[in-house]
């Protein structure tokens, strides 16, 4: 795979924290056609 080929591949992302800012990050990732939301990690039980 060349560098140019890798630029065409989607980016896999995880969001750490599902609080107010994490939710904004999740929304932004979901609207990016070249990004895959692979995981959401929340350490708090609240």
Could you tell me which residues are beta bridge partners of residue 23?
none
**Mean pLDDT split into 10-residue runs, the chain, 46 residues:** 78 95 96 96 82
Residue 32 is predicted with a pLDDT of 95
Q: How far apart are CA 46 and CA 36, in angstroms?
A: 26
Q: pTM higher than 0.75, yes or no?
A: no
Extents of the domains making up the chain: 3-41
Residue 46 is predicted with a pLDDT of 62
Residue 7 is predicted with a pLDDT of 76
């Amino acid at each position: 795979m060349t560098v140019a080929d890798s630029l065409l591949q989607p980016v896999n992302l995880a969001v750490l924290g599902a609080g107010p800012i994490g939710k904004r990050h999740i929304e932004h990732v979901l609207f990016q056609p070249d990004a895959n939301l692979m995981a959401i990690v929340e350490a708090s039980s609240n």
